[in-house]
Amino acid sequence: MDFSGKAVLITGASRGIGRACARRFAEHGARVAVHYHQNQAAAEATLAELPGQGHVLVQGDISRPEDVQRFVAAAAAGLAGLDVLVNNAGIYEDHPVIGSSYADWQAAWQRVLHANLVGAANAIFCAVPHFQARGGGRVVNVSSRGAFRGEPTAPAYGASKAGLNSLGQSLAKALAPHNIFIGTVAPGFVETDMATEFLAGPAGDFIRHESPLGRVATPADVATVVLFLAAPGSEFTTGTIIDCNGASYLRT
């Protein structure tokens, strides 16, 4: 896959899946905008790892519309355009329907939906004019198997990822005539900071053995699918959702 000269914005690129995606795009010739929210040191560490030249840092809270508008514009300015957006930033929160206060329930839904769904939608909206200026573009959304199997203690997370799947499909139809293509990858558990507590706990072995491979995904596993969906030649996959969960959850 050749991304030479391509300008790529990856949200939540300071660690985990986002960092792996940044590294892989850069290895294939892209110039990368590494987006982060709070952890500047981790984002700078990602930037320092990237081969090639012309990479930039951009900062902002994905859940704040004005921040999204600003950091997408900053990425396009720093990279002299924009060809690919990877919507990777997101949060997970437990907020079970039984045991949560109504105020906590409301707050969790607001935080999770604005970070995982509305923020991604806003990033796409802000990226589209930059894509049009280049004659087209690619969006890859990072979803979750939780969109299909349900998340009983984190229903807003599952709903936000299901909404992200639908968003990608809707905009794939709307934007294909403009040479803008959208794909979605739906991982299961991934070896990231967000999953560390679960994997190190008493359920860790069970989680790993949900897959016949006996492990969870690495960030690099997910990055491979992201690059495929963003690559030239994958246009006819627009609107697709690719599972990356090691057959731990199979949907029909």
Q: Which residues contact 29 (CB under 8 A, 6 or more apart)?
A: 2, 3, 4, 5, 6, 52
The reply to whether 249 belongs to the active site is no
CB atoms near residue 203 (< 10 Å): 11
Exposure of 125 in the CB half-sphere (CA atoms within 13 A): 13
Exposure of 170 in the CB half-sphere (CA atoms within 13 A): 9
Contact 60, 28 (CB under 8 A): no
Q: Report phi then psi at 92, rounded to 5.
A: -130, 135
CB atoms near residue 194 (< 10 Å): 15
Chain centroid to Cα 219, Å, comes to 11
CB atoms near residue 123 (< 10 Å): 27
DSSP letter assigned to residue 203? T
Strands 84-87 and 7-10: parallel
**16-27 vs 219-230: helix axis angle to the nearest 10?**
50
Catalytic one of 36, 92, 157, 249 = 157
- Any idea which residues carry the catalytic annotation? 157
